[in-house]
Amino acid sequence: MISVRKVNNRPLNFLERIYLVEIARGLAVTARHFFANLLGRRSLTVPYPERRIPAAGNSASRTRHRLKARPDGSPRCVACFLCQTACPARCIAIEAAEYPGNPVEKYPASFSVDLSRCVMCGMCVEACPEDAIAMDTGELPGGAASRQELRLDKEDLLRRVPGETPARGAANRLAEGPGGER
């Protein structure tokens, strides 16, 4: 059942119908904003990405990816390509390589996420059998001056939280010999 409510708009009076007074009132509103802002009131806009408004503290929101690491600092990822397979935006590119003396055998020689293509769907996290990729950094990607900045390589992804100094080189560190943490 559609309910219909009739709205009786007040007919315009003569002054309103010749527009001029109403236009002047409108101009007064915009001019007030113009001068207020010209003389120093702050704009509501933030010069993104240099300054960012902190995201709401919602743990359920999907944010920039990261790769989890084992206690020894090597990535948990075994380069199984399942995230790359699941990714609908095809933004993940992996190259696999072999650990010579490690029972884990396979590791990602390169692992990159192209945030300019990522749709933040979280399917990579769902697909990962090793719980190696997560989207919990609290960092909302976007707003970069170049495409290259939006392309995260393995080192970028292994950084735990934004702001923390990344431990460069950790990505290729080997686990201790055979029988090591698995």
Partner 1 sequence: MTTPALNTDLLLFAAAAAAKVLLFLGGAMGVTALLTLAERKVSALMQDRIGPNRAAIAGLTLNGLFHPVADGLKMLFKEDFRPAAADRLLFALAPVLALAPVLTLFAFIPFGDYVMLFGYQLDLCVADPPLGLFLLLAVSGLSVYGTFLAGWASRSNFALLGALRAAAQMISYEVTLGLTLAGLMMVYGSASLQDIVRAQGALIWGWIPAWGIVTQPFAFVLFLTAAIAANKRTPFDLAEGESEIIGYFMEYSSMRFAAFMFAEFAEMLLIAALCATLFFGGWQVPFLYETGFMLPGGAALELPQWVTALMQTGAFALKTLFFCWLQLLLRWTLPRFRFDQLMSLCWRRLLPLSIANILATGAALLALR
Partner 2 sequence: MPRLTIDGRPVEVKEGATILEAAGLLGITIPRFCHHPALPPAGSCRMCVVEIEGSPKLATSCSTPAAEGMKVSTSSPAVKAARRDVLEFLLLNHPLDCPICDQAGECSLQDYYMEHSCAKSRFPAELKEPRQKRRLIGPHLVLDNERCVLCTRCVRFCDEVTRTSELFVSGRSDASFIDIREGKALDNGYSLNLADICPVGALTSREFRFRQRAWFLEKTPVTCLGCATGCRAEAHHAGGEIYRMVPAPGAENAWLCDRGRLTYRPLRAGDRLKKGFIKNGYIDLEPAVREAAARLAGEPGAAVLGSPWLSVEDNAALAALARALGTGNYCFSFTAESGIKDGILVNKDPAPNTAGAAEAAPTGGLDLGELNRRIAAGEIKALITEARAAAFIKGRLPDGFKLIVFATNRSEIPAGAYATLPYASYFETPGTFVNYQGRRGVTGPVVPPPEGVPPLAETAAALAAALKGDGA
Q: Which of 106, 107, 103 is nearest to 179 (CA)?
A: 103
Question: Considering CB distances under 5 to 8 angstroms, the limit depending on partner class, which of partner 1, partner 2, none binds residue 104?
Answer: partner 2
Among 45, 58, 146, 148, binds partner 1 (CB under 8 A): 45
Q: Does residue number 26 form part of the binding site for partner 1 (CB under 8 A)?
A: yes
Of the two residues 32 and 173, which places its CB atom closer to partner 1 in the complex? 32
Beta bridge partners of 113: 92, 152
Write each residue from 69 to 88 as x if it is in contact with partner 2 (CB under 8 A), else as -, in one continuous string: ---------xxxxx--x---
Q: How far is the CB of 88 from partner 2 (least distance, A)?
A: 15
Among 15, 97, 119, 161, binds partner 2 (CB under 8 A): 97
Q: Does residue number 53 form part of the binding site for partner 1 (CB under 8 A)?
A: no
C-alpha–C-alpha distance, residues 73 and 110, integer Å: 16
Q: How far is the CB of 42 from partner 1 (least distance, A)?
A: 8
C-alpha–C-alpha distance, residues 135 and 120, integer Å: 9
- Token readout for 50 is 């240099």
C-alpha–C-alpha distance, residues 121 and 117, integer Å: 11
Place of tokens 């409108």: 26
Beta bridge partners of 152: 113
C-alpha–C-alpha distance, residues 1 and 54, integer Å: 45
Q: Does residue number 126 form part of the binding site for partner 1 (CB under 8 A)?
A: no
C-alpha–C-alpha distance, residues 149 and 158, integer Å: 16
Q: Does residue number 47 form part of the binding site for partner 1 (CB under 8 A)?
A: yes
Q: Does residue number 21 form part of the binding site for partner 1 (CB under 8 A)?
A: no
C-alpha–C-alpha distance, residues 133 and 30, integer Å: 50
Interface residue list for partner 1 (CB under 8 A): 20, 23, 26-27, 29-31, 33-34, 37-38, 41, 43-45, 47
Interface residue list for partner 2 (CB under 8 A): 78-82, 85, 96-98, 103-106, 129-130
